[in-house]
A and B are shown apart, each in its own frame.
Chain A
Amino acid sequence: MKQRSLVFLFLINALVLPAQDIQFIKSGQIEQWKQADTDTVWVLNFWATWCAPCVAELPSFEKLNANYADQKVKVVLISTDFKREVETRVKSFVKKKKLKSQVVFMDESNPNNWIDLVSPEWSGAIPATLIISKSKNQYLFFEKQLSYEELETALRSVL
Chain B
Amino acid sequence: MKKILALFTLAAALTAISFTLENPGVGYVVGDTARDFSLQNVDGKKVALADMKDAKGYIVVFTCNHCPYAIAYEDRIIELHKKYAPLGYPVVAINPNDKDVQPADSFENMKKRVKEKNIPYAYLYDQTQEIAKTYGATRTPHVYLLDKDRVVRYIGAIDDNSEDASAAKEKYVENAIDALRAGQEVAVKQTKAIGCGIKWSRAKSE
Contact = CB atoms under 8 A, between A and B. Distances in A.
A144 B7 CA distance: 35
B192 interface: yes
A120 to B, nearest CB: 10
Given A52-B102, A82-B68, A112-B191, A125 B196 contact: yes
A51 B196 contact: yes
Interface in B141-167: 156-157, 160-164, 167
B138 interface: yes
A144 B196 CA distance: 11
A111 B194 contact: yes
Nearest to A124: B192
A110 B161 CA distance: 6
Nearest to A53: B197
Interface in A37-55: 46, 48, 50-53
B193 A111 contact: yes
A122 interface: yes
Interface residues of A, number: 24
Contacts of A84: 163
A112 B138 contact: no
A109 B197 contact: no
A50 B68 contact: yes
B160 A112 contact: yes
A65 interface: no
Given A110-B160, A126-B196, 13 more contacts: A50-B68, A51-B196, A82-B72, A84-B163, A112-B156, A112-B191, A115-B193, A123-B139, A124-B138, A124-B193, A125-B196, A126-B194, A144-B197
15 contacts: A53-B197, A82-B72, A109-B160, A109-B167, A110-B161, A111-B157, A115-B192, A116-B192, A123-B138, A123-B192, A126-B196, A126-B197, A127-B197, A143-B138, A144-B197
Interface of A: 46, 48, 50-53, 80, 82-84, 109-112, 115-116, 122-127, 143-144
